[in-house]
Amino acid sequence: MTARPRLLALGAAALPLALAAACSSPSTNGPGSDADPSPVVSEPVPVERSVDLRDVEGSTIGSATLRQLATAAGTTVELDAAGLAVGEHPLTLLDSADCDAALGGSGEPVEGAELAGLIVQEDGGGQVSATVDVGLADLLDDDGSALLVGPPDTDAAGPTGSQVACASFGG
Q: Give tens-digit pLDDT for 27-63.
A: 445 455 455 555 554 455 568 999 999 999 999 999 9
Q: Look at residue 66 and tell me whether its pLDDT is greater than 70.
A: yes
How does DSSP assign 152-170, residue by residue?
TTS-TTS--S---EEEEE-
Q: Look at residue 88 and tell me whether its pLDDT is greater than 90.
A: yes
**Residue 95, domain CATH:** 2.60.40.200
Q: Write the pLDDT tens digit of every residue in 123-148.
A: 999 999 999 999 999 999 999 999 99
Contact present, 117 and 104 (Cβ < 8 Å): no
Nearest 5°: the CA angle 99, 168, 104 is: 10
Let me know if residue 86 belongs to a domain.
Answer: yes
Which residues contact residue 6 at a Cβ distance below 8 angstroms, ignoring those fewer than 6 apart?
Answer: none
Name the residue range of residue 133's domain: 48-169
- Number of structural domains (the chain) is 1
Q: Look at residue 94 and tell me whether its pLDDT is greater than 90.
A: yes
Mean of pLDDT over the chain = 78
Which residues contact residue 141 at a Cβ distance below 8 angstroms, ignoring those fewer than 6 apart?
Answer: 171
Dihedral, CA of residue 17, residue 22, residue 24 and residue 25, to nearest 10:
160
Percentage above 70 pLDDT, the chain: 67
Let me know if residue 7 belongs to a domain.
Answer: no
Let me know if residue 128 belongs to a domain.
Answer: yes
- What predicted TM-score, i.e. pTM, was given to this entire model? 0.69
